[in-house]
């Protein structure tokens, strides 16, 4: 997977997680160590999937995935950032919704592949928005199910927490969808459109007509 050739922010995240895991295990903090190692393993998963499938994942995507995993699993749960910073959950929801909006753009372009349906920018943007919001809704269902069956407290303030999560999911989805619309308009200069452009360029076989 060429770990040493990955971007330095990703390698820095790996070093932090492995350092936290080693410190936790030395102090016999088994849960902290397990979560740190699990988070580290999950950051490697996109590299493995890309290698097996032959899909090139841009470095920006890899770093964003690793940051999100560390922020939600390790910092959020283990270091209690959700309680220490009221805005932590909001930022993560917006970031994940933006990412799923971009994923919706990519998925739509792969489905179209130049056949029958013309990939009109507004069509792609609408699909991307709906895709990202749907993922957010399913996540809220999962949180509700976990709280009701396992006794967890993921929906900390109940209805208010759920509604704010859905609102910020919509905002993030709108940003991701807008990036897809701008990309298909041929505009340049925005980091999100640049990431989309790199993905399409490096994986041209996925988007060419059958």
Instruction: Indicate the domain borders of the chain.
Output: 1-85, 86-210
Average pLDDT of every residue of the chain: 87
- What pTM does this model have? 0.82
Helix runs in the chain, H state only? 8-26, 30-53, 59-69, 81-84, 88-112, 121-150, 159-184, 191-202, 204-207
Please say whether the beta carbons of 70 and 97 come within 8 A: no
| 71-119 confidence digits (pLDDT tens) | 988 998 889 898 899 899 899 999 999 999 999 999 888 887 754 445 6
Give the distance, in angstroms, between the CA of residue 110 and the centroid of all CA atoms in the same chain: 19
| CA–CA dist 188, 182 (Å, integer) | 8
* pLDDT > 60? residue 36: yes
Which among 126, 12, 5 is positioned nearest to 67, based on CA atoms?
12
Per-residue confidence (pLDDT) for residue 168, from 0 to 100: 94
Residue 18 DSSP code: H
Please say whether the beta carbons of 108 and 177 come within 8 A: no
């Amino acid at each position: 997977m060429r770990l040493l050739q990955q971007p330095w922010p990703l390698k820095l995240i790996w070093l932090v997680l492995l350092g936290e895991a080693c410190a936790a295990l030395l102090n016999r903090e088994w849960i902290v160590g397990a979560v740190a190692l699990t988070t580290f393993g999950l950051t490697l998963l996109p590299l493995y999937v890309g290698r097996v499938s032959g899909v090139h994942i841009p470095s920006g995507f890899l770093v964003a995935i690793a940051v999100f995993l560390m922020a939600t699993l390790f910092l959020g749960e283990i270091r209690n950032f959700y309680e220490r910073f009221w805005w932590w959950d909001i930022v993560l929801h917006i970031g994940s919704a933006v990412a799923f909006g971009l994923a919706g753009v990519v998925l739509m372009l792969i489905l179209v592949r130049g056949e029958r349906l013309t990939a009109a920018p507004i069509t792609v943007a609408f699909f991307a928005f709906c895709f990202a919001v749907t993922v957010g809704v399913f996540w809220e269902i999962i949180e509700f199910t976990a709280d009701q069956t396992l006794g967890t407290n993921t929906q900390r303030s109940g209805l208010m927490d759920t509604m704010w999560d859905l609102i910020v999911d919509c905002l993030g989805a709108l940003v991701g969808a807008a990036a897809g619309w701008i990309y298909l308009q041929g505009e340049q200069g925005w980091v999100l459109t640049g990431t989309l452009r790199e993905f399409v360029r490096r994986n041209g076989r996925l988007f060419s007509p059958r």
